[in-house]
Amino acid sequence: MNRILCAVRGGPGSEKTISNAIALAKKERVRLVFLYVINLGRFLSSSGDRIESMATELRRMGEYVLLMAQAMAAREGVVADTFVREGGVLEEIFAICQEMRIDSVMMGKPNPDSDENCFSLEKLEAFAAKMNADYEVRIILAENDLMQKEMA
pLDDT at 145: 47
**100, 3 contact by CB (below 8 A):** yes
pLDDT (0 to 100) of residue 147 = 46
* Domain at 48, CATH number: 3.40.50.620
What local confidence, expressed as pLDDT, does residue 132 receive? 87
Residue 131: the pLDDT is: 87
pTM of structure? 0.85
pLDDT of residue 127: 85
Mean pLDDT, the chain cut into blocks of 10 residues (152 residues total): 88 87 95 93 66 88 96 97 93 92 87 63 84 87 60 56
**Which residue from 111, 103, 139 is spatially nearest to 124, judged by alpha carbons?**
139
147-151, strands of its sheet edge to edge: 80-86, 31-38, 3-7, 104-108, 138-144, 147-151
Secondary structure of 70-82 in HEC code, one letter for each residue: HHHHHHCCCCEEE
Question: What total number of domains does the chain contain?
Answer: 1
Q: Quick one: pLDDT at residue 148?
A: 53
Domain that holds residue 61: 3-151
